[in-house]
Chain A
Amino acid sequence: MAEPLLELRNLTTVFPMRRGAVNAVSGVNLRVQPGEILGIVGESGCGKSSVLLSILRLIRQPGHIAAGNIFFKGRDLRRLPQKKMRAIRGNEISMIFQDPLSTLNPVFPVGEQIREAMRLHGIANASPLPWPLAGRRSHEKQRVLDVMAEVGIPAPEARYRAYPHEFSGGMQQRALIAIALVCEPTLLLADEPTTALDVTIQAQIMEVMRRVNREHGAGIILVTHNLGLAAEFCDNIAVMYAGRIVERGPAQQVVDNPQHPYTRGLLACLPQISRQRSRIDPIPGEVPDLAGLPPGCAFIPRCSLARDACNSVDLRLRSLQANQYARCILYEDGVRYTVEEFS
């Protein structure tokens, strides 16, 4: 197999809090191949955003990456000096943040904010003509306008000087995507890029992302709590619960044949199209506090299949069928399944 674009090994991210250490990400192993779309699915607070922010090393103090490796194109980002890390951020790896309104800087025009991403990485110098002929500024601006058009912002010329509050939610989200795309990254981290939007705009945004994936060959990690969206859009899906990956596999396979009780619960939450008034059944119970989780399966309080053994075992992701893995006592007999390992 080709060298993966991104490989997380045993990634562990901790927020030391007064009430105890919050293990937002514990021992996550993941791989993204070039051009692959990987979905990370899970309820609120399970650590999805923390995985993405860890990749960029933007976990806020006092939070930090406590263990693991982040291999990007073969280099471990965890060991990279700050300066090299900055050269990667927004350039080779860029991120679309969760909440578009609070993520755009309110005091700068949107066009300038897109342009800044380019400037920080000296992309402007990519003009085919030497500076006095091409006019560096106009070339730079043209690229911004092109990207704005590409992500579906109508009349980019007129909107270049507009401020974030003058944009609708959908347009703000597109502007964020434009910022992420302007340097043509090879890995795009998309944190719930459509959650705040209504369904038609959601479809348009996903279309933009798909085009970026197809035309630029960018690998994408799509974070969402919507398993249906992930199934439709992604090649592979990783289901997260309480900072851990509990199931992973090819998207269709995971949705058609979910193995982990939590994944099954998530699927049951999807609105049934057949029913006239679709009712969403949430999984009963609440996401546990990630500070001071007891050993054993974190899903016990909400799992109908829970048994005593779930408490004690150091559960691992076990290989089930063709590339599908789950972390659950049901698959711990160790006979049919091998312990999952990387390379």
Chain B
Amino acid sequence: MRAIKILERILYAIPIILGVAVVVFVFVRLTPGDPVDIMMGQGGAISSGEIEQLRAEFHLDEPITNQLWYFLRDAARGDLGYSYILKQPVTVIIADRLPATIELAAGALFLALLIAFPIGIISAVRQNSILDRLSMSFAFLGISMPGFWLGIVLILIFAVALRWLPVQGRLDPQITLQQITGFYVVDSIITANGPALWSSIRHLLLPSITLGAAVAAIVARVLRSSMLEVLRSDYVQLARAKGASESLVVVKHALRNALIPTVTVVGLQVGVLLGGNMIIETVFGWPGLGRLVVDAIFNRDFPLIQGAVMVYALTYILANLVVDVLYTYLNPRIAL
């Protein structure tokens, strides 16, 4: 039953993805700047004949509707075209960069939840205590602080001054790691490579904190307010009247209900983690999709921009689907 519904939801996603594809395609071409001019600027002296040849090669001389048709037709076959600049299939480039971005997002999410859950719960249980006020002030800071600024501060403290953690990249250059999945932590575990595991975790730490800080703050606040509401409810009172201890009341009866709104917010944040890390990837020299997209935009690398945005849209839709499925497990009143 559930499997059929999930399949249904995946089918519903197809028109959304199609819509995203068209919108991105059009908007990319509305931005000023000609990709061939930019390629030319890099290549030095190029004759006008060569320019025409380039235009023809990328179908840039044809009407925009034709270009859109080629794009959709190829995308349906899993072919997102060739990057103008990198001269490689877009799918290959993305497949190369995506694991880094996902690994960073996962690290950030993990740390964010690790921090947000205890804070959210304890702040609600001890409402208005010093701990509550303190952590909510931090949460406010976490939301309002610009990510790159936090990243730079962390680098200055932990990498430059204290020398505890590395400044840039995913792995120490002298360590070799056989790549299987592209997720360095996973690959180090699969290949039982202790030094690589240690190094990749150390490299993950600062960018994960930087990226996850705002998420931690948002999740902590949502969890706190939903816990506060749930702790006022009658069913929590019933649990106490049954003789449940306060810890059982909080962890079982209250938290289980407070998770329902929290999961929705976490799901939205997953999109932010995946798509909002361009600056942080730049600050930490993290070879992910975000930096790639920034470069692609500056270079008017249409196929690469389109491909990356499509991947963002897909992961976003997927994250939402996971949240919806999780939601039905958490909330028996909702059917998928």
Q: Show the binding face of A for B, using Cβ within 8 Å.
A: 56, 58, 60, 86-91, 94-95, 97-99, 102-108, 116-117, 120-121, 163, 165, 176, 179
Tell me the complex Cα distance, A90–B248, Å.
Answer: 15
Query: B63: CB under 8 A from chain A?
Result: no
Contacts of A98 in B (CB 8 A): 234
Pick 15 A–B contacts, CB within 8 A, sort by A: A56-B241, A86-B244, A90-B241, A95-B241, A99-B234, A103-B234, A103-B238, A104-B235, A105-B257, A107-B330, A107-B331, A108-B256, A116-B242, A117-B242, A179-B238
Are A103 and B243 interface neighbours, CB within 8 A?
no
Judged by a CB distance under 8 angstroms, whether B245 is at the interface is: yes
> A163–B237 Cα gap in the complex (Å)?
19
Q: A97-B234, A105-B253, A106-B235 are in contact. Are A58 and B241 (CB under 8 A)?
A: yes
What distance in Å separates the Cβ of A72 from its nearest Cβ neighbour in chain B? 14
- CB-CB < 8 A to A91: which residues of B? 243
Known pairs A107-B257, A165-B332, A165-B333; A102 contacts B242 (CB<8 A) = no
Which of B240, B257, B330 is close to A89, meaning CB atoms less than 8 Å apart?
B240
A60 to B240, CA, bound (A): 11
Interface size class of B (residues with CB under 8 A): 20 to 34
Report B293-336 residues with CB < 8 Å from chain A CB.
330-333
Number of A-B contacts (CB under 8 A): 71
A31 to B238, CA, bound (A): 24
SS class of chain B's interface: helix, strand, loop or mixed? helix
- Taking CB atoms, residues of chain B closer than 8 Å to A102 are 233-235
- B243 x A90 contact (CB < 8 A): yes
Closest to A85 in B: B243
Asked if A120 and B244 make an inter-chain contact with CB atoms under 8 angstroms apart, the answer reads yes
* Contact across chains for A121 and B235 when beta carbons are under 8 A apart: no
Q: In this complex, what residue of A is CB-closest to B330?
A: A107
Residues of B within 8 Å of A60, CB to CB, are 232, 237
**B244 / chain A contacts, CB cutoff of 8 Å:** 86, 116, 120
**What is the chain A residue whose CB lies nearest that of B232?**
A60
The chain A residue sitting closest to B127, CB to CB, is A61
B326 CB to closest chain A CB (Å) equals 13
Q: Are A104 and B238 in contact (CB under 8 A)?
A: yes
Task: Tell me if B122 is interfacial: C-beta within 8 Å of chain A.
Answer: no
Beyond the given pairs A105-B239, A120-B243, 18 more chain A to chain B contacts, judged by CB atoms under 8 angstroms and listed by A's residue number, are A58-B241, A87-B243, A88-B243, A89-B240, A89-B243, A94-B242, A99-B234, A102-B234, A104-B238, A105-B257, A107-B256, A107-B257, A107-B330, A107-B331, A116-B244, A117-B242, A120-B242, A176-B238
> B residues within 8 A CB of A90?
241-243
Complex CA distance for A9 and B330, rounded to whole angstroms: 45
